[in-house]
Amino acid sequence: MPERLSKFMLSGKTIFLTIIAMIAFAANSLLCRLALMSGEIDPASFTVVRLVSGAFLLGAIVYSRCPKPCFEPRRVMPALMLFIYAAAFSFAYLSLSAGTGALILFGSVQATMLTWAFLTGEKPNSLQVVGCMMAIGGLVYLVLPGVTAPSFTGSVLMAAAGFAWGVYTLLGKSANDPLTDTANNFIKTLPVLFIVWLLLLIGEYPLLSLPLPSVGGVALAVASGALSSGLGYAIWYSVVPALSSTQAASVQLSVPVIAGVGGVLFMSEEMSMRLAIAGIFILGGIACTLMRLSR
């Protein structure tokens, strides 16, 4: 009996932390969209502040519990994927609503992770295959050209962000210390940020010509970086090893619903019929892919 209870509590903890991580992911979409739509900060500055603030907070937490150097220089791929995700994410939200952006992002995440799961031998049942087809079909329907279709450029950027985040999540399945690994990933983005910053400064897109971000815009970027991203990603890295690739891909598709509702409640965004129909297909696909868990 105690052993069964222990297993139940562990499962309950995993579910609870997964829910917290999904709320954090949705908050990122809302914070980014809110900052950009008000013109208080540009996407390049938002990305820089977001990653720097995440690196600072996580680095401080890790240092407080481990004063000795805990930096691992060899694993650079997670940091590269984190940077690509964050940059593409910010620029995509120049032309996408919070709900639509989140739907494209996590639809792409699911496609990336499930493709990897199939290639590495995870055997889905027929219902899961139907679920994947439903979810991908909903995403395709959302971005088809039409009067209410979202921006093509924004959609492509967000799909690229989704691919990068999917790879980042898959790499996190081997994380030994989620908090330290996440801190390392954020810190390793800083040299890339510095190089890109210099290139933009001397290139055809000089940063000096951009308006300075407002205090409110910086505050939103810091909240996104330190809280929703830094702590949220550390929580996600702590639970993703306990999930299969199929599960990890599927549960993230709850984020568009949270972000869509948040956009309607807090930013007066409209829930279009196209978004609602696509959301039904994608969430129905999640339900199908999770059916195997109840067996």
Place of tokens 């603030």: 53
Q: Each residue of 119-158: pLDDT tens digit?
A: 887 776 777 778 777 877 776 776 665 545 678 889 899 9
Task: Give the residues of the chain that fall short of pLDDT 70.
Answer: 1-11, 67-74, 124, 139, 142-149, 199-211, 269-271, 286-287, 289-295
Pick from 49, 104, 73: nearest CA to 228: 49
Place of tokens 């908050």: 27
CA–CA separation, 48 vs 189, rounded Å?
9
Q: Each residue of 25-63: pLDDT tens digit?
A: 989 989 998 888 878 888 888 998 999 999 999 888 888
284 CB burial (10 A radius; 0-12, 13-18, 19+) = middle
Q: Quick one: DSSP state of residue 147?
A: T
Residues 6+ apart with CB under 8 A from 2: none
What are the DSSP calls for 167-213, one per residue? HHHHHHTT-SSHHHHHHHHHHHHHHHHHHHHHHHHHSSS-GGGSPPP
Amino acid identity at 216? G
The phi and psi torsions of 41 (rounded to 5 degrees) equal -160, 150
CA–CA separation, 89 vs 101, rounded Å?
9
CA–CA separation, 121 vs 217, rounded Å?
45
